[in-house]
Chains A and B, each alone.
Chain A
Amino acid sequence: MAPIARLLLLALLPTALTISSGSGDGYTINGRVKIPQGLGTKGFALPGKTSNVKVILNGGQIVTYLRPDGYFSFQNIPAGTHLIEVAAIGYFFSPVRVDVSARNPGKVQAALTENRRGLSELVLEPLRDEQYYEIREPFSIMSVVKSPMGLMVGFMLVVVFLMPKLVENMDPEEMRRAQEEMRNQGVPSLASLLPGGGRN
Chain B
Amino acid sequence: MAIMSFIFAFFFFSSLQPILSLYEDQVGLMDWHQQYIGKVKQAVFHTHKTGRKRVVASTEQNIIATLDLRSGEIFWRHVLGPNDVVDGIDIALGKYVITLSSGGSILRAWNLPDGQMVWESSLHGPKHSKSLLLTTNLIIEKDNSLIVFSNGRLNAVSCIDGEVLWKKDFEEESLEVQQVIQPPGSDFIYVVGFAASSQFETYKINAKNGELLKHESTAFSGRFSGEVSLVSSETVAALDSTGSILLTISFHNGKISSQQTPVSNLLEDSPGLAVIIHSSVTGIFAIKTDAATIFIRVIGEGKLEVVEKTNHETVVSDALSISEGQQAFALVQHAGSNIHLTVKPAHDWDSNLLKESIKMDQQRGFVHKVFINNYIRTDRSHGFRALIVMEDHSLLLLQQGAIVWSREDGLASIIDVTTSELPVEKAGVSVAKVELNLFEWLKGHVLKLKGTLMLATPEDIAAIQYMRLKSSEKSKMTRDHNGFRKLLIALTRAGKLFALHTGDGRIVWSHLLQSLHKSESCRQPIGLNLHQWQVPHHHALDENPSVLVVGRCGPSSDALGVLSLVDSYTGKEFSSLRLVHSVAQVIPLPYTDSTEQRLHLLIDADKHAHLYPKTPEAIDIFQSEFSNVYWYSVDDDNGIIKGYALKTKCSGNVADEFCFDSRELWSIVLPSESEKIITTATRKLNEAVHTQAKLIADQDVMYKYISSNLLFVATVAPKASGEIGSVTPEESWLVVYLIDTVTGRVLHRMTHHGSQGPVQAVLSENWVVYHYFNLRAHRYEMSVIEIYDQSRADNKDVWKLVVGNHNLTSPVSSYSRAEVITKSQSYFFTHSLKAIAVTLTVKGITSKQLLIGTIGDQVLALDKRFLDPRRSVNPTQAEREEGIIPLTDSLPIIPQSYITHSLRVEGLQSIITVAAKLESTTLVFAHGLDLFFTHYAPSRTYDSLTEDFSYALLLITIVALVAAIFVTWILSQRKELQDRWR
Chain A interface (Cβ < 8 Å from any Cβ of B): 1, 3, 22-24, 43-44, 46, 48, 50-52, 54, 56, 58-68, 73, 75-76, 78, 80-83, 85, 87-90, 92, 94-95, 97, 113-114, 130-134, 136, 138-139, 149, 152-153, 156, 160
Contact = CB atoms under 8 A, between A and B. Distances in A.
A62 B778 contact: no
A97 B118 contact: no
Interface of B: 18, 21-25, 27, 76, 78-84, 105-106, 108, 111, 114-120, 122, 124, 452-454, 723-726, 758, 773, 775, 777-780, 830-832, 834, 854-858, 890, 893-896, 898, 901-902, 904, 953-954, 957, 961, 964, 968
A45 to B, nearest CB: 11
Given A81-B724, A153-B957, 16 more contacts: A24-B124, A56-B855, A65-B108, A67-B119, A76-B122, A83-B778, A85-B831, A85-B855, A87-B856, A87-B857, A94-B830, A95-B832, A131-B896, A134-B21, A134-B22, A134-B896
17 contacts: A48-B76, A48-B116, A56-B855, A58-B725, A60-B832, A62-B84, A76-B122, A83-B725, A89-B858, A92-B893, A131-B895, A131-B896, A133-B896, A134-B896, A136-B25, A152-B957, A160-B968
Contact of A58 (B79, B117, B724): B724
Contacts of A54: 856
State the 3 A-B residue pairs at the shortest beta-carbon distance, nearest first.
A87-B856, A130-B895, A63-B81
Nearest to B895: A130
B779 A61 contact: no
Most buried by A among B105, B725, B890: B725
B729 to A, nearest CB: 9
Contacts of A133: 22-24, 27, 896, 901-902
Nearest to B893: A92
B255 to A, nearest CB: 37
A132 B724 contact: no
B117 A65 contact: yes
Contact of B23 (A23, A67, A88, A134): A134
B120 A113 contact: no
Contact of A59 (B84, B118, B778, B832): B832
A136 B902 CA distance: 17
Contact of A60 (B82, B124, B968): B82
B81 A132 contact: no
Contacts of B76: 48, 51
B730 to A, nearest CB: 13
A56 B22 contact: no
Contacts of B895: 3, 92, 130-132
A114 B869 CA distance: 22
B902 A44 contact: yes
Contact of B953 (A67, A81, A90, A149): A149
Contacts of B79: 63
A43 B24 contact: yes
Nearest to A88: B856
Given A133-B901, A138-B454, A68 B116 contact: yes
A95 B830 contact: yes
Contacts of A67: 117-120
A113 B779 contact: yes
Contacts of A68: 116-118
B219 to A, nearest CB: 34
B115 A51 contact: yes
Contacts of A152: 957
A78 B896 CA distance: 38
A81 B84 contact: no
Contacts of A44: 24, 902
Contacts of B119: 67
A68 B96 CA distance: 14
A95 B831 contact: yes
A80 B896 CA distance: 36
A64 B120 contact: yes
B116 A51 contact: yes
A24 B106 CA distance: 13
B979 to A, nearest CB: 15
A80 B857 CA distance: 27
A116 B116 CA distance: 32
B117 A48 contact: no
A159 B821 CA distance: 55
B678 to A, nearest CB: 13
A78 B726 contact: yes
B116 to A, nearest CB: 4
Contacts of A82: 724-725
A134 B898 CA distance: 12
Contact of A95 (B23, B80, B779, B968): B779
Contacts of A22: 122
B115 to A, nearest CB: 5
A131 to B, nearest CB: 5
Nearest to A97: B778
A56 to B, nearest CB: 6
A92 B892 CA distance: 12
B832 A132 contact: no
A95 B833 CA distance: 13
B83 A62 contact: yes
B78 A65 contact: yes
B378 to A, nearest CB: 35
Contacts of B106: 75
Contacts of B18: 1, 134
Contact of A89 (B758, B831, B904): B904
Contacts of B454: 138-139
Contacts of A48: 76, 114-116
A48 B968 CA distance: 63
B80 A63 contact: yes
A155 B541 CA distance: 50
A65 to B, nearest CB: 4
A64 to B, nearest CB: 7
Contacts of A87: 854-857
Contacts of A64: 81, 120
A7 to B, nearest CB: 15
B124 A132 contact: no
B961 A51 contact: no
Contact of B957 (A43, A88, A149): A149
A132 B896 contact: yes
Nearest to A98: B725
Contacts of A113: 777-779, 830
A62 B22 contact: no
A156 B111 CA distance: 65
A61 B831 contact: no
B22 A59 contact: no
Given A44-B902, A67-B119, A83 B953 contact: no
B951 to A, nearest CB: 11
Contacts of B124: 23-24, 76
A44 to B, nearest CB: 7
Nearest to A43: B24
A87 B857 CA distance: 8
Contacts of B723: 58, 61
A76 to B, nearest CB: 7
Given A132-B902, A139-B452, A73 B120 contact: yes
A106 to B, nearest CB: 18
Contacts of A56: 832, 855
B122 A75 contact: yes
Nearest to A3: B895
A99 to B, nearest CB: 9
A94 B780 CA distance: 12
Contacts of B22: 132-134
A149 B23 CA distance: 22
Contacts of A61: 81, 83, 723-724
B117 A66 contact: yes
B953 A62 contact: no
Contact of B961 (A85, A134, A156): A156
Given A83-B778, A149-B953, A132 B898 contact: yes
A95 B774 CA distance: 13
Contacts of B108: 65
